[in-house]
Amino acid sequence: MNAKIAVDGVTKTFDLSGEPLVALDDVSLEIADNEFVTVVGPSGCGKSTLLNVLAGLEAPSAGRALVDGVPVSGPGPDRGVIFQQYALFPWLTVRGNVEFGLKIAGVPKVERRSRAEHFIDVVGLADFADVLPKALSGGMRQRCAIARAYAVNPEILLMDEPFGALDALTRVKLQDQLLSAWDRERRTVLFITHDVDEAVYLADRVVVMASRPGRIHDVVEVDLPHPRTEEVRLSAEFTALRNRVWNSVYHQGTVAERTP
């Protein structure tokens, strides 16, 4: 595989009140250019730590994270990060928030405006461009955060449970919007979730992690067709994959015991 992202034997140990805590134990993973990979696993298995290492927010204790073959040494404009809590500036409008990253990147005003407009439209917020975040619903705020991340044109999107705080209906809508944005503007995506359905619906590949120590337990290829639609979501193929991932997440002991 021509890897866009490579995680090469990454171990991350934290100091927990004087005791070492192995959050990631010798984790290796390759993600191809424009691939959509989701990560699921029990609480505390190291999903966010893995994402933070790739974002350059945490340094590995051993091993390396590489982007285009270059070791990650800190955050960079090639990687857009979206967290569960939409970190919008409350004093800026939707347009102002989306333009902010472009301003920092030194993009001239006219281009800033047209790029922001384009991505606000992509996430379906055109009618709310001049509204402050306090007047938006949770789902709209998260769409604004996604537009902001997309606008700076990062090659990689690192998303840490971006829809975790939303109700089920909004979540499904945002999954569809994210996928249609991804169909139009392909990116390499690493997307963390607790939701097995979400993991399967969005992904080309689902990585299942296990805890204590945090490690990769299973990798499931998702060969469902694109565009993903309600028909795909309700198909027998989707259900079979979902059951497979569910068993891998919730019956890890059983699977491991069967492995010689």
Comparison of 48 and 97: residue with beta carbon closer to ligand ATP:
48
Interaction between residue 49 and ligand ATP (CB under 6 A): yes
Interface residue with ligand ATP among 10, 31, 37, 48 (CB under 6 A) is: 48
Q: What is the dihedral of CA 32, 174, 154, 214, to 10 degrees?
A: -50
Only one residue has tokens 């992904």, namely 203
Residues in 213-242 that interact with ligand ATP by CB under 6 A:
214
Minimal distance in Å, beta carbon 100 to ligand ATP? 27
State the distance between the two ends of the chain, measured CA to CA, in whole angstroms: 28
Interface residue with ligand ATP among 1, 2, 16, 90 (CB under 6 A) is: 16
Comparison of 45 and 94: residue with beta carbon closer to ligand ATP:
45
C-alpha closest to that of 72 among 162, 145, 81: 81
Interaction between residue 172 and ligand ATP (CB under 6 A): no
Minimal distance in Å, beta carbon 75 to ligand ATP? 16
Minimal distance in Å, beta carbon 214 to ligand ATP? 6
Comparison of 35 and 160: residue with beta carbon closer to ligand ATP:
160
Minimal distance in Å, beta carbon 183 to ligand ATP? 28
Minimal distance in Å, beta carbon 162 to ligand ATP? 13
Comparison of 46 and 96: residue with beta carbon closer to ligand ATP:
46
Residues in 18-47 that interact with ligand ATP by CB under 6 A:
21, 23, 41, 43-47
Binding mask 53-92 for ligand ATP (x = CB under 6 A): ----------------------------------------
Size of the site for ligand ATP (CB under 6 A): 13
Minimal distance in Å, beta carbon 166 to ligand ATP? 16
Minimal distance in Å, beta carbon 25 to ligand ATP? 11
Comparison of 59 and 126: residue with beta carbon closer to ligand ATP:
59
How far apart, in whole angstroms, are the C-alpha atoms of residue 22 and residue 60? 11
Comparison of 10 and 67: residue with beta carbon closer to ligand ATP:
10
In SS3 terms, the chain reads as: CCEEEEEEEEEEEEEECCEEEEEEEEEEEEEECCCEEEEECCCCCCHHHHHHHHHCCCCCCEEEEEECCEECCCCCCCEEEECCCCCCCCCCCHHHHHHHHHHHCCCCHHHHHHHHHHHHHHCCCHHHCCCCHHHCCHHHHHHHHHHHHHHCCCCEEEEECCCCCCCHHHHHHHHHHHHHHHHHCCCEEEEECCCHHHHHHHCCEEEEEECCCCEEEEEEECCCCCCCCHHHHCCHHHHHHHHHHHHHHHCHHHHHHHCC
β-strand 62-67 against 70-71: which pairing, if any? antiparallel
> Which residues are near ligand ATP by CB under 6 A?
14, 16, 21, 23, 41, 43-49, 214
